[in-house]
Chains A and B, each alone.
Chain A
Amino acid sequence: MAVTEAAPKKPQLFEQTSQYRHWRFTPEALEELRTANNKRGVERVLQGLREEAQVDDETALETRISEATTNLLTPQEELQLVGYYLQMIVQTIRVYSRIHLLKPEALNNVKATAINFMKRFYLHNVVFDYPPKSIMLTCFYLATKVENSFMKIDDFIRPLQDAESKRGSKIQTKGDDILDLEFVVIQSLQFELAVHYPYRPAYGFFLDMQAYIDDVQLLKAVHDRTHHFIDISLFTDLVFLYQPPQIALGAFKLAAREKDLDIDPYLARRFDARELEVLYPILDDVQDVISGFKNISQKEAQLIDRKLILCRNPEKNPNSKLYKKKVADQADTPYVSDSDSD
């Protein structure tokens, strides 16, 4: 083809993003994926327990299996547990900003990316294999890199260790634990690291609305409040269902309603009737999901965490006898050098 020929008609730029191509679902597909994922995860737990019994105590198998079966987490419980640790990410990140390890302008991006990574991770993993407590820090660390806020791993874990020693508890956070999971996480993200959020579209709408709405002070207050609702949206499944500008506009509507600003005339002037017919149900859903969001309490999470102890998959649990045996077996195998490994 000669370079001078006109290029074929290109799709919208956003349609090229990995977020649009691979991380969009209908509510039904999302539920189906989570149910299937949980079901297969349960099978692996039982299989792992049977394998472990062979290297451990055969007689304990039945007790272990019945313990595990009565404590197995439902897809809903898995979601709640992950949800709790999503909230923990936000708390942890605050520590870093307080001691200036993360710049204020990087904060939103790192936070949103870390949360999004963790949500995506659990579409392709279950908590039985990888409990969210450990995945959380790897997602956070990876997010600092992806959002151009790199710090060395030693600098990254210091505030966490400081907090542990201040509490008088044993130092449990180790850099290696975080790094060991880096490949597990990044492969589950299918190496797609660019994430788009509603913050920038919301700012775009804020600028655009100034041409239509006279009270800029009020509009600014609404925009500020919009951030609060976007923050909430990050915890929900909205990121898998709608585009960032749609979520931004839904959040805008919630904020506007709170402050008695009517943005419907703006929408009516900006979009034609057919577009509005598609847009309004989306905006309604976004508003419903955001206003219906509830934090997971520590108590709820503890209950689920306690059950999880009994239904972990031993194959992936570094503390299990099965895991240790597998690692030892691997070490025993003579090292075969191939040009492909280093």
Chain B
Amino acid sequence: MELGSKPILGEEINKETESLYKKEKKLGEGTYAVVYLGRHVKTERKVAIKKIKLGNARSGLDMSAIREVKALRELRHPNVIELIDVFSHKANLNLVLEFLDMDLEAVIKDKSLVFMPADIKSWLMMALRGLDHCHKCWLLHRDLKPNNFLIASDGQLKLADFGLAREFGDVRRAMTSQTVTRWYRAPELLLGATNYTGAVDIWAMGCVFAELLLRAPYLPGDSDLGQLTTIFKARGTPTEDDWPGLNKLPMGFKFENHPRPQFSELFHGASDDALVLMNRMLLFNPADRVTAAEALQSDYFANHPRPTDPAKLPRPKQNIAGAIIGEEEEPAVKKRRHQDAFEDVFADDNSGGVENALDPAAKRMDLRIPSPA
């Protein structure tokens, strides 16, 4: 018989998988998970083992664990974090992920690094490729932001943290509008839409694009309502022309009329083709917003300069051991962020970002080579 002594039982297969990996040391701990540096015992491949805690879960496995496992088991792409294996140990779920120790947020925040336009193009291209793959698989990420883009040692950027991901495309099924971290949340979500598309991820991607140029968050609102005002101040208050059907959204508010400022005032170092693409990613009407596939075909990527080879992209000297946790180090922030995913009671207090956003000097893209300090 072909099966021979091969394991059949779920229990046996799980044990066999577990025996393939050893944990070497703890890299970091969040409210939701502990991350270990691990190794495949035979191939010696370095991996990250994310142990999901189920301590307080009164209803068993929680939704973010289910969503992450469900999504990542199906996705295989160079720009999406690889879920190599999953096993359970007692009442813990262990995700064996490829080892990544840098995220885009840390790159943006490291002011000793200078970004060339070709660098930004390279990061954005990799991010869009990963996102395009998710959308082709009918999956929404729903939490794109700089610290959910992880970076491998070879410079490849990877979409990570799929705890809010879900499939889309069935128009009859309502989805929550309480998703995506606020600064990156698309206007239709802020207005309470329960039927949306990949355009919500594109909006977030547009915000990240802007953040790469500004080196500070582009739309740092201080509350949900404040977020819309922040968006309207930056993009102009939309009219029924910009966004037909606007008045039919569940939460019909009247907003103060803000004129649309010129992009080039804020991003005056950026090329026209970059601004054209960013504008198409940040259009109010989700149906008009560019898709990931279209964005990759845009002039911005066809024109010079060519995107930087990922291996040559700027990178902070200090790696972040626990990058895969996807949570900030400071405990109070961590807690809030976790709640946000479920309850949306999130007050962003990432003060660094806010301060920088208020500093007009920080709003300009710095393309100069820094003089040695």
- Chain A residues with CB under 8 Å of chain B are 1-4, 7, 13, 16-18, 32-33, 36-37, 40, 103, 105-106, 121, 124-125, 129, 141-142, 145-146, 148, 150, 152-153, 156, 178-179, 182-194, 339-342
Contacts and interface: CB of A to CB of B under 8 A. Distances in A.
Given A145-B61, A183-B91, A191-B73, A124 B8 contact: yes
A339 B10 contact: no
A48 B73 CA distance: 35
17 contacts: A2-B306, A3-B309, A13-B137, A16-B75, A32-B3, A103-B173, A106-B173, A129-B9, A145-B63, A146-B66, A150-B63, A156-B59, A182-B60, A183-B88, A187-B87, A193-B73, A342-B55
A194 B74 contact: yes
A190 B310 contact: no
B59 A3 contact: no
A145 B66 contact: yes
Contact of A3 (B69, B71, B88, B122): B122
B373 interface: no
Interface of B: 1-3, 8-11, 13-14, 23, 26, 53, 55, 58-61, 63, 66, 69-71, 73-76, 86-92, 122, 125-126, 129, 136-137, 166-167, 170, 172-173, 175, 306-307, 309-310
A153 B60 contact: yes
Contacts of A184: 10-11
Residue of A37, A121, A182, A183 with highest tally of chain B CB at under 10 A: A183
B79 to A, nearest CB: 9
Nearest to A341: B90
A339 B89 CA distance: 13
Contacts of A183: 88, 91
A328 to B, nearest CB: 18
B87 A2 contact: no
Contacts of B125: 3
B308 to A, nearest CB: 8
Contacts of A193: 66, 69-70, 73
Contacts of A36: 1, 3, 8
Given A185-B10, A187-B10, A341-B92, 9 more contacts: A2-B307, A7-B129, A103-B173, A141-B60, A183-B91, A187-B13, A191-B73, A194-B73, A342-B53
Q: List the 7 closest pairs (A to B, CB-CB), nearest first.
A: A188-B10, A191-B86, A193-B70, A105-B172, A124-B10, A187-B14, A179-B60
A187 B76 CA distance: 21
B173 A148 contact: yes
Contacts of A2: 306-307, 309-310
Nearest to B61: A182
B75 to A, nearest CB: 8
A192 B73 contact: yes
A295 B331 CA distance: 56
A32 B126 CA distance: 45
A182 B137 CA distance: 27
B70 A148 contact: no
Contacts of B63: 145, 150
Nearest to B58: A153
Contacts of A342: 53, 55, 92
B307 A190 contact: no
A32 B58 CA distance: 39
B166 to A, nearest CB: 6
B23 A340 contact: yes
Nearest to A149: B173
A261 B254 CA distance: 54
A150 B175 CA distance: 12
A190 B87 CA distance: 8
Contacts of A339: 26
A124 B15 CA distance: 13
Contacts of B172: 105
Nearest to B170: A105
Contacts of A185: 10
B73 A187 contact: no
Contacts of B173: 103, 105-106, 148
A155 B74 CA distance: 30
